[in-house]
Amino acid sequence: MMPIRASELTLPADMPADVPYSFYSQPRSLVSRPKYREQSNNETEKGPGRYGNIMVDPRVVRGNVLSVRPPPPQSTHEIKRQRRAQKQGLARKLTQEQIQPGTPEPVEGREHVYVQTELYLEEISDRIIEVDGECQTDEFLDRPTTPLFIPAKTGKDVATQIEEGELFDFDIEVKPILEVLVGKTVEQALLEVMEEEELAQLWSHQRAFAELRNAEFAELQRLEEQDRRIREEKERRRLEHLEKLRKQKETAEKIAARAFAQRYLADLIPSVFNNLHDSGFFYDPIERDIETEFLPWLMSEVEETLQKKVLGRTMLDSLIRMVVEKRLDEFSRPPPPAPTEAPAEEPSATDAAPQVSGEADADDQPAEEEEETDQPVAEE
């Protein structure tokens, strides 16, 4: 990207103002530049036309690259004219939509169904279609280990021969080292032995302290238990003394109440018994049994007997009335003419009357027998 001058971004005079933005630059020759950047702290030396950051480069469009770049500012009259034209277009569009005939309403019992009328139909589904795909890659070999870096040899090799015994004698030189090692080992062993003895003494002191503490703790528990027993015994005896005092007080109150009740009821009991006896609460059981059981039964039996007597008398009266009415009818009839030949003797009315009366007497006989049979019941 080459830097340009600010004058190159100006639009030519013959270009209209409502044309979208487009880059325009006059042709010019390339300027030779050095291979490396100049190491200078003065920014003014680079010149105003050299941009090092695209954020300040006016040629870079900022924002959404798909949106239309806003046109340059216009006059007020032009803006009003554009707004009026937009309103007229919207009104014309609404008028066309209203004029276009729509689908008529469905008849009763039917409904419209949306159908795709495009040339290429699309399958509509609530579930997204999923397709599984697989891919196999080539097997990669492991990278070999990086070889150890060995720098190139520089300089010259020189060798020296040393004979035995020239530099040092091992037996002589190793003696101080052995003395130091043995001394340190013995010293460390002594320290460990002293530490073990110290630990043993600490453990013995700890065991003695634990035994003493356990003995003191046992003695403390014994004293606490003894104190608890003493307190419980004291509380028990206090409760027993309070219970004894309560019983004595209660006994004294009962004795006083009994004496008062005896004095109060001395004259009350006889009068109460007399009132109860007069009211009928105290009665003879035999007399009460006779009054409640025997007398009601006797009255029911007497009433039943009287009802039977009344029934017998009523029946006797009805029979007598019937006989009397029959005789009255017979006597009221005229006598029949006398036949020429005397027939066999027929019972006269007077003879029939005794017979009827005999029947009546016979009818009265059961009633009298019933009365005689009822008499022992009444006597009972």
Distance CA 277, CA 269 (A): 12
> What is the percentage of the chain residues whose pLDDT exceeds 90?
32
- Amino acid symbol at 113: V
From residue 72, give the alpha-carbon distance in Å to each of 18, 69, 247, 322.
Answer: 8, 9, 117, 149
Instruction: Please give the mean pLDDT across all residues of the chain.
Output: 77
Q: Which residues of 120-145 are buried (b: 16+ CB within 10 A; e: fewer)?
A: eeeeeeeeeeeeeeeeeeeeeeeeee
User: What is the reported pTM?
Assistant: 0.23
The residues, any chain, with a CB within 8 Å of residue 309's CB and separated by 6 or more, are 370, 371, 374
- Give residue 20's pLDDT band: very low, low, confident or very high (50, 70, 90): low
Compute how many other C-beta atoms are within 10 angstroms of the C-beta atom of residue 46: 14
Please give the residue that has the higher pLDDT: either 175 or 143: 175
Tell me what pLDDT residue 347 has: 45
Which residues have CB under 8 Å from 360's CB, separation 6+?
A: 319, 320, 323
pLDDT in tens, 133-165: 888 777 777 777 888 888 888 888 888 887 777
Distance CA 260, CA 239 (A): 31
Are 370 and 308 in contact by the 8 Å Cβ rule? The answer is yes
Per-residue confidence (pLDDT) for residue 18, from 0 to 100: 57
Burial class (CB in 10 A: 0-12, 13-18, 19+), 307: exposed
Cα distance between residue 58 and residue 4, in whole Å: 9
* Token output for 147: 């070889």
Instruction: Give the integer Cα–Cα distance in Å for 250 and 258.
Output: 12
**Residue 160: what pLDDT?**
82
Per-residue model confidence (pLDDT) at position 291: 84
CA nearest neighbour of 356 among 307, 301, 331, 319: 319
Query: Taking each helix axis from N to C terminus, what angle separates 295-332 and 349-379, rounded to the nearest 10 degrees?
Result: 180
Report d(CA 238, CA 246) in Å as an integer.
12
Across 317-338, average pLDDT: 85
Q: In Å, what is the CA distance from 82 to each residue of 18, 77, 92?
A: 12, 9, 15
pLDDT band at 73 (very low <50, low <70, confident <90, very high): low
pLDDT in tens, 81-107: 889 999 999 998 888 877 766 677 888
In this model, does residue 184 exceed pLDDT 90? yes
Dump pLDDT digits (tens) for 288-316. 888 888 889 989 999 999 999 999 999 99
Contacts of 122 (CB under 8 A, 6+ apart): 116
- Between the two ends of the chain, the Cα-to-Cα distance in Å is 155
**Closest to 328 (Cα-Cα) out of 360, 359, 353:** 353
DSSP state, 237?
H
Which among 233, 375, 241 is positioned nearest to 308, based on CA atoms?
A: 375
Q: Tell me what the mean pLDDT of segment 190-204 comes to.
A: 95
Which residues, 6+ apart, have CB-to-CB distance to 9 below 8 Å? 58, 59
153 token code pair: 């040899």
Q: Name, in order, each residue with C-beta under 8 angstroms of 18's C-beta and a sequence gap of 6 or more.
A: 71
In DSSP notation, 32-75 reads P--SS----S-GGGG-TT----GGG-TTSPPS-TTSPPPPPP--
* 362 or 238: which leads in pLDDT: 238
Assigned token pair, 18: 């409502």
CA dist., res. 183 & res. 189, Å (int): 10
For the chain, give the percent of residues with pLDDT over 70. 72
